[in-house]
Amino acid sequence: MSNSTWRAPFIVIEGLDRSGKTTQTANLYSRLQDEGIQTSLHKFPDRTTAIGQMINAYLCSTSELDDRAVHLLFSANRWELASTIEKTVSARTPVICDRYAFSGIAFSAAKVHSGNGQPLLPFEWCRAPDVGLPAPDLVLFFDITPEQAKARGGYGDERYEKEEMQVRVREMYRRIGEEMGAGDAPGKTKWVVIDAGREREVVQEEVWNLVSPLVKRGIEGPLRRLWV
């Protein structure tokens, strides 16, 4: 990163439950540290803030919230951190996020009416509150079948950890990825599908080969906005 127009990248790891996001994010973080690259790591939902605690109570089913209200809370939880992300990459520290706006759309748009199985919230409605958030430079989408995910110790007790929900979420992610495109044009988010059903070490190497050149080279130009 040679002059003042250069900044660090903003990288997001997305995917289904149990796809290994937390495992690989932690690995990436420590590998970057080992190379002397300080990195800022975030996870959404960020359950440490007041909004995050409301989300946590909902996910753990200790509180009930309207589906629209909780969707807006997830988005607000990201907006809480938006300016920090912007400042951090401008200060040339890479930002890595475990889940982001794509989770917000995929999980809410995958909800259906219990009676007739019809979508509860329109896709465009789900995207609207996140329009204008800092846009990642790279999204690594960890693809895994719900069956493979289930085999990794089964789903836990949180609200969305059910196989039929995960099937619909995967379909939503496919739609989001298609709409994002491959993103090879300069200044566009690059969306890369990672086969997360493979051995940890294999996934780890692929992630490293995609992330490390970007982090070492940096990005020219300001952070863009999502979907504007």
Footprint on this chain of ligand Z5A (rule: CB under 6 A): 15, 17-23, 44-45, 59, 74, 99, 103-104, 107, 152-153, 158, 160-161, 199-200, 203
Instruction: Identify which of residues 149 and 219 has a Cβ nearer to ligand Z5A in the complex.
Output: 149
Instruction: Identify which of residues 36 and 153 has a Cβ nearer to ligand Z5A in the complex.
Output: 153
Considering the complex, what minimum distance in angstroms separates the CB of residue 87 from ligand Z5A?
21
Considering the complex, what minimum distance in angstroms separates the CB of residue 205 from ligand Z5A?
12
Instruction: Identify which of residues 5 and 84 has a Cβ nearer to ligand Z5A in the complex.
Output: 84
Considering the complex, what minimum distance in angstroms separates the CB of residue 164 from ligand Z5A?
12
Q: How far apart are CA 179 and CA 22, in angstroms?
A: 25
Q: How far apart are CA 132 and CA 82, in angstroms?
A: 10
Q: Based on the number of CB atoms within 10 Å of its own CB, is 17 exposed (0-12), middle (13-18) or buried (19 or more)?
A: buried
In this structure, are residues 120 and 84 in contact, taking their beta carbons and an 8 Å threshold? no
Instruction: Identify which of residues 1 and 31 has a Cβ nearer to ligand Z5A in the complex.
Output: 31
CA-to-CA dists, residue 164 to 110, 130, 146, 169, 170, angstroms: 10, 26, 9, 9, 10
In this structure, are residues 100 and 12 in contact, taking their beta carbons and an 8 Å threshold? yes
Considering the complex, what minimum distance in angstroms separates the CB of residue 82 from ligand Z5A?
14
